[in-house]
Structure 1
Amino acid sequence: MDQHFIATTEAADQAATQDVVRLVDLKRRFGQTAALDGISLTVRKGEVLGIIGRSGAGKSTLIRCLNGLERPDTGEVFIEGREISRLGERELQPLRRRIGMIFQHFNLLSAKTVEDNVALPLKIEGRPKAERLKRAAELLDLVCLSEKAKAYPASLSGGQKQRVGIARALAARPALLLSDEATSALDPETTRSILALLKDINRQLGLTILLITHEMEVIRSIADRVAVIDAGRIVEEGPVWSVFADPQSDITRRLLGTVRPQLPPELAARLLPGAGTETVLRVDVAGEAAREPLLSDLAAAVPGPFRLVHGGIDHIQRQPVGTLFLSVPGSDASHLAEIITFLKSRQARVEVLGHVADPV
């Protein structure tokens, strides 16, 4: 047999085993509404993937297809290489143990102690009590709640309840952790602590995490990659830093509105669509382009005035991502065009926001 063919096949098989989740052209309708309209997506082993979209975008249906609670009309759902969408309940049970789940409202059993809540998946599996309690103790230590083992959920704060939910989701040593709006019911400080815990678990255990959320700040804090879903379709996908730096779709830009730098309201209120004494530009740069002395190089390359009126450089996934707002005075169209051309030559995305009648 051709050795190149053997090597190629082995490489393809090895790559496939690294895909914890693979969705192929997933479609699901409810009456006339297409909840999922051709979703194809891959989540690699050890990756944190964020799926973001507005209410009604299809996120909940997608997550129910992943854990086998919803069956797609057409398409395929692979978990660790096995197609699950046509399996019966008996065949699904062991596969569901490979998927941990954390919820927005915690879903803890109020009549059971914290350690019993954590150990519940193992009790359902029929594991011996000693093994269940040992595993619960390990996980409560992992989520920093060892002292709450004998407490009941009613005595816990929201953040503590979610930590118990995370520990319970990890009890059966899943390959995949699904997070369904898990921080939406928490205050900002608690949200940050829960996201830091999830990221730490991802690093320590190499656990694959898929986050469903409508909050871009959650994506920014923890995800390696983001997929934007709208009307049942993936409209944009890529590394988080890249999508934040240069969103391609209107829905992504709207979702990013609260976390990307914006022109201060007092300046934005003065913008005019027509001519003015100054033109205001938005300049977005990322990666290597954001590491360069862009403004000093611009001043050297294009004689004539411009001013930085707002913005700066941030870091996402260790990559610099910058947004600068420049004001270019005067009505010389050729000078403005030179500035824009230079900026674009440095891989910057440039947008003319408008004009102002008086200097900014």
Structure 2
Amino acid sequence: MGRHVLVTGGAGYIGSHACKALAAAGYVPVTFDNLATGWAEAVKYGPFEQGDLLDRAALDAVFAKWQPIAVMHFAALSQVGEAVAQPGHYWRVNVGGSLNLIEAAAAAGCMDFVFSSTCATYGDQDGVVLNEDTPQRPSNPYGSSKRAIEEILRDFGVAHGLRHVIYRYFNVAGADPSGEVGEFHQPETHLIPLMLDVVAGKRAALTLHGTDYATPDGTCIRDYVHVSDLVDAHVLGLQWLEAGKGNRVFCLGTGAGFSVREVVTQARAVTNQEVPMNEGPRRPGDAMQLVSGSARAVEELGWRPTRSSLQQMIGDAWRWHQNGHYDK
């Protein structure tokens, strides 16, 4: 038996890239996913167990079958607007599912846990570079649910010795440069794939959600990180725990923020095509500016986000967009 790592949400965008990185690092990723937003075709690098985090018996069976040495937890609902409209759904799925998973891991003696959290736990703190010491003040139920899971992990660390690395990250973009896996959601809500749909003629225009923010060009500013850089950090986090270095929180971003209009300008340059745009109202729960301070990940983990230029993120996403899609 190899060193198995249970990857929840491994059929999704970030989870599938993480499975590739884990396999390359010598682990066997075991994907656990209910396929609500993931794709069976994205599970390429290890076994697939279809199941739901709200089903504790299914989780116990998977821990017994594979005896994973660690959990990498990506599975979550993650749309801010939906969370504002359906808070109960988000608390039930994200927090209830995570509690089931954490309890099952502790019961099985699987004590290394890498958690995909979010900068949404900080809320809207404009003009601040967000790092691990910034107070968490989530402004929507998605951010609140993720903060709650962080607190559950800390409590289980005290009570049961569960070890954790928590990653708070920002806007993830791009695709595996080889084209094996990529970003594909139905419905799509992320800026770069929406923009590329417009370029490819699959949508008439890109809607700018708010053009009256107090930013240089009126649109929101976000910190983008390449998905392959992001999952490299998750493997480093797993190795951090294996080395016995203790519980830690890391922010993952580049420290550079780009506005929506700046991303569109770069997309025009990469694709050599126009991006028609419409101006729309702000979305509920959206923060004006979210930029990461990632010095801790660089200094302590040795993480290097080498692929996270806008040009490469959009270029890799564009190649995937032209060639690779999943089918339900």
Does the alignment reach a TM-score above 0.5?
no
Q: TM-score, normalised by structure 2?
A: 0.28
**Structure of larger gyration radius:** 1
**Higher strand proportion (structure 1 or 2):** 1
